[in-house]
């Protein structure tokens, strides 16, 4: 029998080696040819059963198996549903025939086994993994809007139990070889390939007849079954907890929970059929296509350097200088040291610099306490941060990042003081979030080596870094900035210079649209609730409090001044004027001051300031559900419109930067696939029509110029 995606070799000792090796691909995937091969493999194994002693699953690739063909998922149409169901069921029958062969089947895993790859490994009766902490195992499908549909839900539930399996199925939590051993999901880890294969063969010799745990008489599900008192209460509240977390916007997690609970109440074969039905329903949803586009294809484009100019060798600084040891500078220092990059953290006093360094000690101490880091690694990490108040200590830095207050004069001063300390071909970066890089670069003696690196707070948690190219920033400088961001484990997007760049500019439309609604008299609780129900992390008013209303007013004043310097006048929006009133009329500066849109009492949780109702709210007699939908649309559309404008103005030059930047930079809902993908998922013509209606009712913030519409049509065809 011939195969196209695997090699079948029956040795004299009765052990069959099945080596997965998809031709012309760096990884093995669940393409149609592989489906056919698995059916044929089951036939071949049964045909040779009389002379078999065992089966080894191996891979010719660096990874064990990569999983589903996601490009194919994006092309699926509703008319394909029946075919998809039948092909999945045929694959599962092949899996079932292999695992009920009566002979030991062992997976030898020397690289990542994710998604369908882990499900393939679960067909085996035993799994042995190379002891490499870089190897990831598990079922991350939910992060792509999918569900494990090749027996993964059924098997993980039966191996771990209904409660213990939830993080690995409903949250897509991954695990490494050692953790897999602790969970009982693998049977051994080895330090070399030779040892790994030896362990697998020893298992075959010791288990001449093998079966899956649930096929053995007397099997009981770990942790109890659905009806056990220990689980009943937890399962009763699980749907409510899931809705509270995702607000019904992520159908994959709901489908996984349903498949787990329903499947646990029936026999194995029925459970896997339930799983297939859930998968087919999810695969054809727009949310799934949105999330695959963003979190697989867009993220792959970024990680592969699609926005990185040139083809110069990858660059990594040996020493980084950081100016300003406040919350942002301290976080940047941690990001460097945690990735093994030495850095100098400078502030105006040694005391302030040391306080910034202590932030890394605080974070690493938590990791030591939780067992994720040992004391030696903590000492090594801390040794990479030098706290100082002396500019001379920056001498020889390959990269210097200023992270001082958003004041143009102050940034110019520290640039001129520190730039001379750079290595001969070093890069100077500004961490500004709003001030145009080309203007800041005027303080630099080498503007071609000047770039924007906009980190997000808190740096240790936020994945994104927005790289801003100034008018004179060279390709080499931009490429080095890109490499540096990847080196510290962050996700880079590249934008061209403008006021607010991309993320701050679009973020501003979100919070100011919320403020504009308040100015219209819409009740604050309705605004905040609708935003969260749309999928935003928090409401616009709460976000404004967190970033400081006074900072928004400072940015407004700076914008007015900049416009005046250019001989123009700036017309503030209704939202900006309301924020200005909050600060200047009502003396409410934000969360740090204890008073903004919310009150922040020391003896209790935050609560909306009663003055909002007194000063702004108007009589409200609209249908609350209809009003909520209208608010959700306004908040999402306003951000999407601004993203489209950034694309037309060439602030953005790629869809992947637009989508990933909007999700990780400003919290645009993940279910949409990002601000630009949201436009196309709405249907471009439908989006254009809705924008016209919104502009007529709520102003020019929703207007799409002919040029913007043309740009959206151009990118739709890419």
Each residue's pLDDT tens digit, 112-144: 999 999 999 999 999 999 999 899 999 999 999
Residue 366 in domain: yes
Q: What is the mean pLDDT of residues 571-577?
A: 93
Domain of 563: which CATH number? Answer: 1.10.1040.50
| Residue 708 near residue 714, CB atoms below 8 Å | no
pLDDT at 385 over 70: yes
Are 120 and 167 found together in one domain?
A: yes
Share of the chain above pLDDT 70, in %: 100
How confident is residue 228, by pLDDT bands cut at 50, 70 and 90? Answer: confident
Are 485 and 608 found together in one domain?
A: no
Residue 343 in domain: yes
Residue 687 in domain: yes
- Confidence at residue 34, expressed as pLDDT on a 0 to 100 scale: 96
Q: What is the mean pLDDT of residues 293-308?
A: 95
Are 78 and 154 found together in one domain?
A: yes
Residue 122 CA to residue 151 CA, distance in Å, equals 8
Domain of 55: which CATH number? Answer: 3.90.226.10
Length of the chain: 718
How confident is residue 240, by pLDDT bands cut at 50, 70 and 90? Answer: confident
| DSSP per position, 349-410 | SHHHHHHHHHHHHHHHHHHHHHTSS-HHHHHHHHHTEEEES-GGGGTTEEEEEE---S-HHH
Are 271 and 160 found together in one domain?
A: yes
Q: Which of 448, 476, 499 is the last residue of a domain?
A: 499
Are 667 and 583 found together in one domain?
A: no
Tokens of 601: 């009492």
For the chain, the average pLDDT equals: 95
pLDDT in tens, 183-206: 999 999 999 999 999 999 999 999
Q: Which of 499, 523, 550 is the last residue of a domain?
A: 499
Residue 623 in domain: no
Q: What are phi and psi of 81, to 5 degrees?
A: -60, -45
Place of tokens 């502030």: 347
Are 473 and 529 found together in one domain?
A: no
DSSP 295: I
Helix axis angle for 350-370 and 375-383, nearest 10°, is 160
Q: What angle do CA 417, 418, 419 make, to 5 degrees?
A: 105
Q: Residue 458, preceding bond cis, omega within 30 degrees?
A: yes
CA distances, 618 to each of 306, 522, 613 (Å)? 50, 7, 8
Are 246 and 392 found together in one domain?
A: no
How confident is residue 225, by pLDDT bands cut at 50, 70 and 90? Answer: confident
- The residue with greater pLDDT, 76 or 8, is 8
DSSP 298: I
Distance of CA 166 to the CA centre of its chain: 20
Residue 274 CA to residue 151 CA, distance in Å, equals 10
Domain extent at residue 679: 628-650+654-718
Are 486 and 524 found together in one domain?
A: no
- Which of 242-256, 344-358, 548-562, 669-683 has the least mean pLDDT? 548-562
Residue 290 in domain: no
Q: Which of 499, 515, 540 is the last residue of a domain?
A: 499
Q: What is the mean pLDDT of residues 225-250?
A: 85
Domain of 369: which CATH number? Answer: 3.40.50.720
Tokens of 653: 């030059």
> In 85-146, where do the E strands start and end?
105-109, 113-114, 126-130, 137-138
> How many structural domains comprise the chain?
4
β partners of residue 399: 320, 427
Report the candidate in 671, 668, 667 with the shortest Cα–Cα distance to residue 681. Answer: 671
DSSP 705: -
Are 334 and 373 found together in one domain?
A: yes
Are 128 and 66 found together in one domain?
A: yes
- Confidence at residue 426, expressed as pLDDT on a 0 to 100 scale: 97
Please count the other Cβ atoms lying within 10 Å of the Cβ belonging to residue 19: 17
Please count the other Cβ atoms lying within 10 Å of the Cβ belonging to residue 603: 4
Residue 524 CA to residue 502 CA, distance in Å, equals 27
Residue 215 in domain: no
Please count the other Cβ atoms lying within 10 Å of the Cβ belonging to residue 714: 11
Residue 302 in domain: no
pLDDT in tens, 314-359: 999 999 999 999 999 999 999 999 999 999 999 999 999 999 999 9
Are 525 and 581 found together in one domain?
A: yes
Tokens of 443: 């303080």
pLDDT in tens, 148-189: 999 999 999 999 999 999 999 999 999 999 999 999 999 999
Helices (H) and strands (E) in the chain, counts: 30, 20
| Residue 515 near residue 558, CB atoms below 8 Å | no
Residue 27 in domain: yes
Residue 446 CA to residue 141 CA, distance in Å, equals 47
Residue 624 CA to residue 621 CA, distance in Å, equals 8
Contact partners, residue 429, CB within 8 Å, separation at least 6:
399, 400, 401, 402, 450, 451, 452, 453, 481
pLDDT at 374 over 70: yes
- Confidence at residue 629, expressed as pLDDT on a 0 to 100 scale: 96
- Confidence at residue 231, expressed as pLDDT on a 0 to 100 scale: 83
Are 375 and 389 found together in one domain?
A: yes
Contact partners, residue 628, CB within 8 Å, separation at least 6:
526, 529, 530, 533
Residue 467 CA to residue 520 CA, distance in Å, equals 36
- Confidence at residue 718, expressed as pLDDT on a 0 to 100 scale: 61
């Amino acid at each position: 029998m011939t195969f196209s995606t695997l090699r079948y070799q029956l040795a004299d000792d009765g052990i069959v080696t099945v080596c997965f090796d998809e031709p012309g691909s760096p990884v093995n995937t669940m393409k149609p040819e592989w489906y056919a091969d698995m059916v044929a493999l089951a036939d071949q194994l049964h045909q040779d059963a009389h002379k078999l002693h065992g089966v080894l699953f191996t891979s010719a690739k660096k990874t064990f198996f990569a999983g589903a063909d996601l490009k194919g998922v994006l092309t699926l149409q509703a008319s394909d549903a029946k075919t998809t169901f039948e092909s999945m069921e045929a694959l599962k029958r092949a899996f079932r025939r292999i695992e009920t062969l009566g002979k030991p089947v062992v997976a030898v895993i020397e690289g990542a086994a994710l998604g369908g790859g882990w499900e393939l490994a679960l067909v085996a009766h035993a799994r042995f993994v190379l002891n490499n902490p870089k190897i990831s195992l598990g079922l991350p499908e939910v992060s792509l809007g999918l569900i494990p549909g090749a027996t993964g839900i059924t098997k993980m539930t039966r191996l771990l139990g209904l409660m213990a399996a939830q993080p690995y199925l409903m949250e897509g939590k991954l695990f490494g070889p050692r953790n897999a051993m602790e969970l009982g999901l693998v049977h051994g880890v080895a330090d070399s390939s030779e040892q790994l294969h030896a362990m697998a063969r020893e298992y075959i010799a010791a288990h001449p007849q093998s079966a899956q745990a649930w096929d053995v008489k007397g099997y009981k599900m770990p942790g109890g079954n659905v009806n056990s008192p220990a689980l009943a209460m937890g399962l009763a509240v699980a749907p409510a907890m899931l809705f509270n977390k995702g607000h019904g916007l992520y159908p994959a997690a709901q489908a996984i929970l349903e498949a787990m609970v329903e499947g646990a109440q029936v026999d194995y074969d029925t459970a896997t059929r339930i799983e297939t039905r859930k998968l087919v329903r999810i695969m054809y949803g727009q949310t799934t296509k949105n999330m695959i586009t963003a979190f697989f294809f867009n993220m792959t484009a970024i990680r592969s350097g699609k926005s990185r100019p040139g083809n110069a060798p990858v660059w990594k600084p040996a020493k980084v200088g950081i100016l300003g040891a406040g919350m942002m500078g301290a976080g940047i220092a941690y990001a460097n040291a945690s990735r093994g990059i030495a850095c100098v953290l400078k502030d105006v006093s040694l005391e302030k610099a040391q306080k910034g360094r202590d932030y890394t000690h605080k974070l690493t101490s938590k990791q030591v306490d939780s067992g994720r880091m040992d004391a030696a690694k903590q000492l090594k990490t801390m040794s990479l941060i030098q706290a100082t108040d002396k500019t001379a200590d920056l001498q020889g830095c390959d990269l210097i990042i200023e992270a001082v207050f958003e004041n143009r004069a102050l940034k110019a001063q520290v640039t001129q003081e520190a730039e001379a300390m750079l290595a001969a071909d070093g890069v100077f970066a500004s961490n500004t979030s709003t001030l145009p890089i080309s203007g800041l670069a005027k303080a630099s003696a080498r503007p071609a080596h000047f770039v924007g690196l906009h980190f997000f707070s808190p740096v240790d948690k936020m994945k994104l870094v927005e790289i801003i190219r100034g008018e004179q920033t060279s390709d080499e400088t931009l490429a080095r900035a890109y490499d540096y961001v990847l080196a510290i484990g962050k996700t880079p997007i590249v934008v061209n210079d403008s006021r607010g760049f991309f993320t701050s500019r679009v973020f501003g439309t979100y919070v100011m649209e919320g403020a504009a609604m308040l100015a219209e008299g819409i009740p604050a609780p309705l605004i905040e609730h609708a935003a969260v129900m749309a999928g935003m992390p928090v409401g616009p008013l709460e976000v404004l409090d967190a970033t400081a209303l006074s900072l928004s007013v400072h940015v407004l004043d700076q914008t007015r001044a900049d416009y005046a310097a250019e001989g123009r006048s700036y017309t503030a929006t209704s939202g900006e004027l309301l924020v200005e009133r909050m600060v200047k009329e009502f003396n409410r500066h934000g969360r740090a001051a204890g008073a903004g849109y919310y009150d922040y009492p020391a003896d209790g949780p935050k609560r909306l300031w009663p003055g909002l109702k007194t000063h702004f709210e108007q009589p409200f007699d609209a249908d609350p559900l209809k009003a909520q939908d209208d608010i959700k649309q306004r908040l999402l559309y306003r951000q999407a419109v601004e993203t489209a404008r950034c694309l037309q103005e060439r602030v953005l030059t790629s869809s992947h930067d637009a989508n990933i930047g909007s999700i990780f930079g400003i919290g645009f809902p993940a279910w949409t696939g990002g601000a630009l993908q949201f436009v196309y998922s709405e249907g471009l013509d439908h989006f254009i029509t809705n924008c016209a209606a919104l502009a007529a009712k709520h102003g020019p913030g929703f207007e799409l110029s002919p040029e913007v519409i043309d740009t959206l049509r151009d990118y739709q065809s890419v």
